Structure 1
């Protein structure tokens, strides 16, 4: 016996033999066999139903993860959290394949049994089967019977002309069994392969009809198929109907009968499974539809972005060509979007003041404000994400400055043309970084412009821990806070003498942020206290979770007015400067706000975002943990209702204490306050002119 016979044909043969001996009718044998298979595999059907319900139940959560990790660089983190979600929900990825595998095995087995009825249905011994083959070969003058050898033997025996030859080779009871074996059912020979000009054409037609019935039932009732798009549903329907029609034209009609019965019984089984495990009891379909609507909005945004990219393609192509054709480039800045210019601002201004170096400013934002600057020393280029990859591979400059981490870790690589380019990293957050960016995110930079002493310590300890070559660390400072402080001081009298104190709520957009976890508790306890409360969601939150935003606005719509505002316009930072207290979770805006205005921040301890799970391998405590209680206070979520209003009153009454603490932090942890642009520019000019 070969492997297929042993593993598939034999067990299927035993079941069909049992059915045939019980009924004695070939067609009904196949029908009863199909019912038995459905009964045997029904527990698996229940498991698949449960698993499918879990999958649909998880769809909003998976969609949330996709919105949380939209970038290619976040793929590993997305997969890790998705696997954790599957594990938590006890969802099996491979469960859905089991029915298909069973169907394939049964089809192979039934084909084998139908082609070999002597052994499996009539129970004739191998010795007698061999004798029958010998006689048949002698009569027909050939042994080339193909897979239908058993059926050929039956046809020759039932012909009756050569009975004397068969009687001489095999026992009479074997011949009698063969003579009584009838493969017809309702006037159709189920052992024959259907053709267009025979009655058997009804089998393929009924097969296609049964497939259509199954697909229609699945599209309407199956918990998974219900959620597919119209194109997907009808595409699968057309494929299965066409496949069923073709398939039953190339196998014996008995297989076609099984296929018809299997399709119809599967359709019935869907209703039974839905009755046993009703998806509506386990799935929040309103939440599911809301998630779909959010995905639809995001898809529209992506399509708009894609259309805009297409419009900007000629411009991008021209800028790409111009950049590569420009020879003698000394200095290149790269910005991911317009808002990132603030990290370069002071340094760029000082370079222009102190040198004639041309700044080649590459941005992936077609609407970057850099294109509106009328400055001869700045040559701007728009390069989208796809062309950015080859542009960096072909980079030809003396120095490249970026705020983007993970150089050479993902799609953005160091130059393949020049190995002597100095790559400089500028932080876009002050104080500390080991928790907030990925492990090894800045390892492939040559030079780091540090905002303060703690970053220097973190880098040096990381280099020692991982055996890395020491980088050039420039004690630069942080221009963003310097500029914010200057702006605040210029309008200080206005900000300090407002008739109404203002409270700004400005959280992150990460999992368990204030808006998702405790906004109701906060507002319930600080509205109607005589303060103006402004909720300012993170721009990414507005972009990724439009339905949550819509729901939040609708929920508090009747409270919006003079003392309450939900702000979605980020064109101005006046609400930040004018806030008397900032409430946040883990956003770096707290440090920028407090260090620029010298006012305290109130932190809610939501779930902490950790981009680097290995941060605790260093002996240093991240400043974004240790300084929270120095520039303000921390509250656990469960403390909000009882304490938040009282703590705000205390903070408002003790400005002077916080001002001194915050000034101490500035002096201890921020380099060269007010001079970061000069320090950074001086280093760049010296390296390029030296």
Structure 2
């Protein structure tokens, strides 16, 4: 270095020295490149470990360590280049501070008016260019590394920005608080690192070794889980966090739990109600009721009944709770167990998972593909569901489930409410328009044509959107309402309060697209429905493989009539004809209901008895096993 530095060629000497170290350390650079590629190759599997054991930090740590061991990877080995860089940097500091070590004189440390043996923060003036240039070189290196370095290229945006900010911050500090000569080395090292990375990518091209498709798929799966319960926004503070933590701890503090119900929100209790009431009246079993709604009415019920224990567990924490579930039986209305983020227990393999329908029709078109595959027992609505489920088991080579002919308690509850209503007194026909919330529903495709056809013709029209539509597409709903602000009154009203079902069951006729409300209306009142043939609600694109026509399609022309969107003009005449035959429809629809829906009026008893018997068999089997 003394030979090169003589004659005030200090900067050239520093650049050549830095280049020489990069060349000598190229084998270590190649090793680091391979190590980085190996890490990126493992990242999809690391992501999938996090997906599979989401929220279970201990298991994730164990599985990650096992993967590292299998791949012969150690994360601390990635710090070796940094350690070498620090050693070289310390050597440079000594050389600049005491130039005689390298055979240099004080004059050799001068380049023009710059003395490379001074500290920029003390010298001031032009010396402040040193930290600025150091920071700029680090900024340029970070941009290049984010594109070329296999590890940094796979970092998330915020990770890349964080690394850049730290790197630039360190460079600014080094440029200001170390000797100017050391800063010069740092600047040249940053810039030559870009050239070094380009050479490494030519020697070992990361694109040839990394499965980008698998990496992206695993990243999306993990992001989906991380966004569960966020509603598109990250809450700064969950006011129910402490409550959730306490309920989580309380749930697992109870040993020998027999029966657990899970409800997504307050609106789902109605599907369990008949069964829970039977269990409370005919057994001594304790109801452990988990809900993801902090305002669920179950907490009020629990205050009045010591055999009901309510727990608030949010959607994200629920993932971990379900993985650690320790009960004999879990009853849910949530389909797709095991297919998405909610898994069967990893702690107990003998839990009986029971599915209860919240929709009284077929199993193979509206439900997702494989929605019921991982349940052990299905409480069926009616006989028609049995061949559907058995055919799916046959097609996809699934183990046979227990199918219990239960019925549909929600329909029975609505029936009681309807039977208790006073007959309405009105001077005109009342028509309920009850669209679904799926894409291209009535509100999005043909509401204007429909209302123009029905208004001013002796009809009182109530538009009651699906609550989920209002929640997701509030602005769209506001636009529809505002368009008819001058017409509401005797002819038209919009019902956006969903606390009561009165408007549904005191109507003379319902108009819908693919909403289940129409079948509830016709099966409870017997009155006819009009179905508008908007695009079908199909969550299982393979439903036709079963060769069984879904009830959603088959019943449309039985409980009423179905119309294509182009037939809406003139539909008032068709509705008039339906009204003239209303009594005939009532007899026919109620008979159809009794044929389709099992144990009408007794579903709670059937479901409750099955649960009691199944739990009793488990308890007796456990006692017998302990006695041996």
**TM-score normalised by the chain length of structure 1:** 0.57
How much has 1:663 moved relative to structure 2?
Answer: 1.9
Matched, 1:342 2:273: no
How much has 1:526 moved relative to structure 2?
Answer: 0.6
Structure 1, gaps ≥5 residues long: 1-71, 74-194, 212-230, 252-297
Question: What CA distance in whole angstroms lies between the structure 1 residues aligned with 2:368 and 2:416?
Answer: 32
How much has 1:302 moved relative to structure 2?
Answer: 4.6
Q: Give 3-state SS (helix, strand or coil) of 2:573's partner.
A: helix
Match of 1:539 in 2: 467
After superposition, residues 349-498 of structure 1 pair within 5 angstroms as 349-373=277-301, 374-491=304-421, 493-494=423-424, 497-498=425-426
What number of residue pairs does the alignment pair up? 432
Question: What CA distance in whole angstroms lies between the structure 2 residues aligned with 1:471 and 1:613?
Answer: 23
CA contact (8 A) 2:524 2:590 kept: no
Match of 1:666 in 2: 593
Q: Give 3-state SS (helix, strand or coil) of 1:438's partner.
A: coil
Match of 2:446 in 1: 518
After superposition, residues 231-380 of structure 1 pair within 5 angstroms as 302=233, 307=237, 310-373=238-301, 374-380=304-310
**TM-score normalised by the chain length of structure 2:** 0.62
Query: Structure 1 residues 398, 500: CA separation in 2 closer, same or farther (over 3 Å shift)?
Result: same
Match of 1:528 among 449, 456, 463: 456
Question: What CA distance in whole angstroms lies between the structure 2 residues aligned with 1:198 and 1:517?
Answer: 69
Q: Give 3-state SS (helix, strand or coil) of 1:558's partner.
A: coil
CA contact (8 A) 2:363 2:389 kept: no
Query: Structure 1 residues 299, 322: CA separation in 2 closer, same or farther (over 3 Å shift)?
Result: closer
How much has 1:197 moved relative to structure 2?
Answer: 9.4
How much has 1:648 moved relative to structure 2?
Answer: 1.5
Question: What CA distance in whole angstroms lies between the structure 1 residues aligned with 2:471 and 2:252?
Answer: 34
Match of 1:688 among 607, 615, 618: 615
How much has 1:301 moved relative to structure 2?
Answer: 8.7
CA contact (8 A) 1:506 1:536 kept: yes
Matched, 1:561 2:500: no
Question: What CA distance in whole angstroms lies between the structure 2 residues aligned with 1:557 and 1:574?
Answer: 23
Query: Structure 1 residues 405, 342: CA separation in 2 closer, same or farther (over 3 Å shift)?
Result: same
Match of 1:283 in 2: none
Matched, 1:678 2:605: yes
Q: Give 3-state SS (helix, strand or coil) of 1:559's partner.
A: coil
Structure with bigger gyration radius: 1
How much has 1:500 moved relative to structure 2?
Answer: 3.1
Deviations 1:443-483 (A, max 9, x none): 11100000011111100111111121111000000011111
CA contact (8 A) 1:502 1:581 kept: yes
How much has 1:643 moved relative to structure 2?
Answer: 2.5
How much has 1:299 moved relative to structure 2?
Answer: 9.0
CA contact (8 A) 1:476 1:676 kept: yes
Q: Give 3-state SS (helix, strand or coil) of 1:689's partner.
A: helix
Match of 1:32 in 2: none
Match of 2:519 in 1: 591
Q: Alignment RMSD, CA only? A: 3.9
CA contact (8 A) 1:431 1:670 kept: no
Bigger helix fraction = 1
Question: What CA distance in whole angstroms lies between the structure 2 residues aligned with 1:501 and 1:671?
Answer: 32
Question: What CA distance in whole angstroms lies between the structure 2 residues aligned with 1:198 and 1:577?
Answer: 84
How much has 1:344 moved relative to structure 2?
Answer: 0.6
